[in-house]
Every structure is written in structure tokens, then in C-alpha cells.
Chain A
Amino acid sequence: MTKENLFEEPGLKQITVWARGVYENKEARDVVVAITEAAASEGRFVQAWENYVDLPDRIYVPVRAYGKISDQEIKSKYVYENEAPDIVALTEETLVKGVNILEGIKPGAVLVVNTRRPAGYLFKFIKQGTENLSKIVTVDANSLAKSIITLSGAEGATDASGIGKGMGAALAAAIVKATGIVQFESLLKIVGNKNAAKKAFEMADVVEVKTLVRAG
């Protein structure tokens, strides 16, 4: 009983969304809930949850929400964090500074940022983990929908304000455009703000990281 990597889950996709406490933690949760619900509607195994230690009731602290999607039953069910994300999303752009957002990402991982700035500009601020990053996706989600500020849905309870009515719908759509993690039609059935999602799906700018590296 000594073989290594006995418990790898090759088909498992991990989504980590970073946000700012209170102002955006609902949107971060909406992104993972909307995408995992869409995946579940396609018959896949899913999990969604918020980081338990990040304290989302403290204003503007970095907080995380997580999603897992797999074609097989999820084995690493009761964990605290996504240790090897395939997708990292930021509900606002300043999280690229001073926060190790790409920690543990898998080779080929994608970063999706709610921002008005171009990917090349943001890329300069990311100091760690870029060697495994394949794409940066930018979308001005704030121009499409506002962040809904509520503590409804905190602590594992039901979010009575609904899913995907705010900026998270746009961010989720950009993720789907860049990664194809679910069918866009599946996502549209889940999110409340379908208009924002559709526009974000058109607007999102997908940039290959290798082109940024070449540009220096």
C-alpha cells in the first residue's frame, strides 16, 4: 500500500473565484453556483461552496468561492480549498496585486478578470504562478450588471435574492466562453440576468498568455 498518486482525480475540474468581502462575496458564490448548477443539468457531478475561513462578513478582505465539476463521482468531497484550480476568476481587478491568486493552478489554467483594463496590463502585476497559465480573459462585467450586496446565502443558507442577477452572471459567461466548461445554453437557464450573460459572452476578450510573454 505504498503507491503514489492513488487518489488522483484526472477528470476533475476546479473553479476558484476570488472576491472582496461583503461587496462581492455573493457574486463570487453566484459564479460557482451558476456554473456547477449548469454542469449538473448536463448530468455531471458537482460541488459548490464558500471558503470557510475567509470570513466573508469582513468588508473588502479577499474571499473565495469554489466549484468542482467531474464526469465521475467526486472523491475529494470534504476539503477546505481547491488545491489545483483549472479556472481562476476575480470579481475585481486589484486582486491581481498582493494576492497569490494563481497558487496551485494546473498547466493550461485560465484566469478570468472583471476589469476595463487589457490583459497585458494586468499581467504585469501577477508575480507568481504564471508559468502554468494559458489564457487571460477580461470582461467589463461592471458595465453590464451591478454587484448585489447581501448576506443572504451566507453560512451555507439559501440565497433568497436569487442566483446570477448581478455581475456574477457576466463573469460566469466569460468563464464559459473561454473554457467551454459547460454549454452556454445550460448557464443561461440558471442565471437571472440573461442579458448581462449574453453580452459578456460576446464582449469577453480572450488573450493567450504566450503572446503576452512574447510582447515582454
Chain B
Amino acid sequence: MGVKKRISGCVATANAVKLADVEVICSFPIRPYTGIMSELARMVADGELDAEFVHGEGEHGQLSVVYGASAAGARAFTGSAGVGVTYAMELYSPISGERLPLQMAIADRTLDPPGDFGSEHTDALCLRDQGWIQGWAATPQEALDLTLLYYRIGEDPRVLLPQYACQDGYFVSHIFGDVEIPDVAQVKEFLPPYKNHHVLDPRNPQIMGAQMEPAMGPGMQYQRYQAVESARQVIEEAHDEFGRIFGRKYAPWVEEYMTDDAEIAIFMQGGHSETCKTVVKRLRNLGEKVGMVRLRTFRPFPTQHVREALAKFKAVGVVDNSANFGISGGAGVLLTEARTALYGLGDKVKTLGFVAGLGGEMITHEEFHKMFGKLKEVAKTGKTGKENFWLPFEL
């Protein structure tokens, strides 16, 4: 079995990258993800990890390096945060279009403004429809586990897609938490070596990323759509295998916390769900019928699973930790996705949007408490009135 340590999400991710025996790493510093790369640089320098460690000239360069490395058949890793993530925007679609299963860790940071170091999911959510697998870790342990899970899912020949393994900056990336680091034999059993069927090799020349005619577009895009859809089954299989080998059983799509007989629930993703859980537990002890549903895989979005999970509640509060100005519903991405999933159920489940924790501010126990209070009121009266709330100003 593995070793138990208290480490940050950054170090947990770096340990997973080492265990995955990644061959090419490309770095460029930006808080808060920097700790992942400084840890990997130390591992390479100390001879713990045999990998080509390239320091990029920027995030666009970083993604370009791993793009090439993955095309040449290497298991590749990179990462970024905040405006670093968006600076490399051009590369995300070509990488998934080329069906290269490299991995990028994102430790969230706000975009500018406010340009602070705090976490907001806005950065990673800007990339959400680029054909990558995407989801959030809520603890350092889950950050380690997501890295391993995503390489396995992305490299599956039925999928061949890149992955964003996201974690909340600072909260998950910097605070030390209990982590079990698995041993190499377990990881070898879970994650076979990466073998791509099309590899950039001068001995066997081929053109990759060539200019296409418009007539070829629909077919190529349809294939990428099919790859994302076929990832669904692979995601479930990978989580089953993960549970069997490592003993940590994650629900692949949504984690339900105290939802049995719950009348109201919070729907959210990421690290703040840990705070929400303590509020749910406290309110349960006071006899309130409350629960929480945490989204574990954001792309591909599990429409059916979210619908099934949320359909049993009278009212659902969707917590968005992202700034999405002018969006339908006036809250965030997750509210629109949740409402789409609930479409067809009519007015049975009332949905409220809560925008919280922007700029990296904490979402406090008291704020979750207020959200549940609002939901209770809506469940009782059956009426919503105002449906979107920007905290702390509007609730």
C-alpha cells in the first residue's frame, strides 16, 4: 500500500505526475499552480523522475511544447493558472482536434481584474468546450487521484483526448491535507504505458494538423464530438477500476452528500464543497432536510446524472464560483448547465443561482447557511421571485 503524508494539492499533483512516469513536462511560473512545477523540477533534479523538463517562454509556448511532445508519442504534462491559462487559448482546440491525450493541471486564479492570486473557476471555465476532459478536485487527495484517472481516461484508444485536471487555487493547491500516495505497482496496474496509434516520427513521415477544406470540417468535428461522447463509458470504467485498485471509490459524475430525504440541496463543484459539507452536516443535526450534490466531471457534462440527482429536491441552489457577465440566468455557467439538465421536468424543481467566492474570497459557513435559508423559503412557498444572487451583496 501507499504512504500517507500531509501535503498540498500542488505536491499531490506532482506526485501523481511522477507516478504516471510522465516523459515531457513544460513549465512557466504563475501562482498558484507554480508549486506543481517547482516540485517536479526538484524531482527531476534529484533523480526521482526521469523526464524531459522544458521551461517554456510563456503559456502559449508551454502548450506548444507539450502538443509536439504528445504528437511524438510522449506522455506529456503542463499546467497554468488565471491569465496564464487564457494566454494559451489558441492551442486548446488544435490539441484536442489532433486527439492528443496530454494533461494540463489548472490551479484556479482570477482573471484580471481583480488580478489577485485568489481562486475563481472563471479561468478554466473559459476553456470548457474545447473537447477536453475536465473536472475539479476538492482536496489534495483528489488532485492526485484526478491526475491518474484523467491520463487513463484520455489515453484510452476509444477517447484520445486531452484533460484539464482542475483544483481551486490556494484552498486545495496550498493548504496541506492528508494524502495517501499510492505505490508504483498499483499505478502500473491502473495506468498502462501511453501508446498512440499515430505518432510524429521522421522515419515514418506524416502530416499532422494540415490545412483542411471546409467540406472536411463537419466530419472532423463530428468525430471529435463522438470522442467526447464515448469518453462517458470510459470515465465510468476508469472510476470502477480506480476504486478496485486504490480502494478510493469516487462517483464518476456526481457525489451526493446527505441527500436521502433531502428537500433542498446545493449543487456545486470544487473545493468549497468541503465547507458546504460541514454546513449540511450541522443543519442535519438540527433536523433540517438538506443535502449537497457535487459535480465531479464537468466535461463531458453528465446531463442525465445531474437530472436524476437533482429531480428529487423541491429547490436547488447552484453555486457558481465564476464571473460570467451577461449569461442566461444572471449567475454562472453551472446554473445554466443545471437548468438545461433539468429541462423537461417543468417547474418541479426550483433553481436559484448563487455567485460566491469571487476574487478568491472564501465562501463561509454563514454564506452557505444563508443559501440554505433562502432555499428553504422557496421550497416552503413554492415561489422564487429573484432567482440569482451575487454574494455577499444580494443575500
Once bound together, how far apart are the Cα atoms of A130 and B45, in whole Å?
48
Is A75 within 8 A of B365, CB to CB? yes
Is B176 within 8 A of A157, CB to CB? no
Number of residue pairs across A and B with beta carbons under 8 Å?
94
Is B42 within 8 A of A156, CB to CB? no
In chain A between 22 and 63, which residues have their CB closer than 8 angstroms to a CB of chain B? 33, 36-37, 40, 46-50, 52-53
List, in ascending order, chain A residues with CB within 8 A of B282's CB.
Answer: 6-7
Is B8 within 8 A of A157, CB to CB? yes
B187 lies within 8 A of chain A by Cβ: no
Chain B residue at minimum C-beta to C-beta distance from A6: B282
Once bound together, how far apart are the Cα atoms of A160 and B44, in whole Å?
13
Q: Tell whether A157 pairs with B365 under 8 Å between CB atoms, given A49-B176, A52-B117, A78-B275.
A: no
List, in ascending order, chain B residues with CB within 8 A of A49's CB.
Answer: 8, 174-176
Residue from A3, A40, A76 within 8 A of B6 (CB atoms): A40
Residue from A33, A75, A80, A155 within 8 A of B362 (CB atoms): A80
Most chain A beta-carbon neighbours within 10 Å: one of B170, B176, B271, B283: B176
Q: Tell whether A78 pairs with B271 under 8 Å between CB atoms, given A46-B6, A155-B35, A157-B8.
A: yes
Instruction: Offer 9 A-B interface pairs, CB within 8 angstroms, sorted by A.
Output: A7-B279, A49-B8, A49-B176, A76-B275, A77-B275, A155-B34, A157-B8, A157-B10, A160-B42
List, in ascending order, chain B residues with CB within 8 A of A46's CB.
Answer: 6
B-contacting residues of A (Cβ < 8 Å)?
Answer: 1-3, 6-7, 33, 36-37, 40, 46-50, 52-53, 75-80, 152, 154-158, 160
Most chain B beta-carbon neighbours within 10 Å: one of A1, A40, A53, A154: A1
B189 lies within 8 A of chain A by Cβ: no
Chain A binder among B210-218, B308-316, B369-377, B385-393: B369-377
Once bound together, how far apart are the Cα atoms of A7 and B280, in whole Å?
11
Once bound together, how far apart are the Cα atoms of A3 and B6, in whole Å?
35
Residue from B14, B176, B288 within 8 A of A1 (CB atoms): B288
Once bound together, how far apart are the Cα atoms of A109 and B33, in whole Å?
35
Is B366 within 8 A of A7, CB to CB? yes
B7 lies within 8 A of chain A by Cβ: yes
Chain B residue at minimum C-beta to C-beta distance from A80: B362
Which 3 interchain pairs have the tightest Cβ spacing? Answer: A156-B8, A155-B35, A7-B365
Chain A residue at minimum C-beta to C-beta distance from B118: A52
Minimum CB–CB distance for B289 against chain A, Å: 12
Is A1 within 8 A of B11, CB to CB? no
Is B174 within 8 A of A156, CB to CB? yes
Chain A residue at minimum C-beta to C-beta distance from B270: A78
B230 lies within 8 A of chain A by Cβ: no
B31 lies within 8 A of chain A by Cβ: yes
Is A156 within 8 A of B35, CB to CB? yes
List, in ascending order, chain A residues with CB within 8 A of B175's CB.
Answer: 47, 49, 77-78, 156
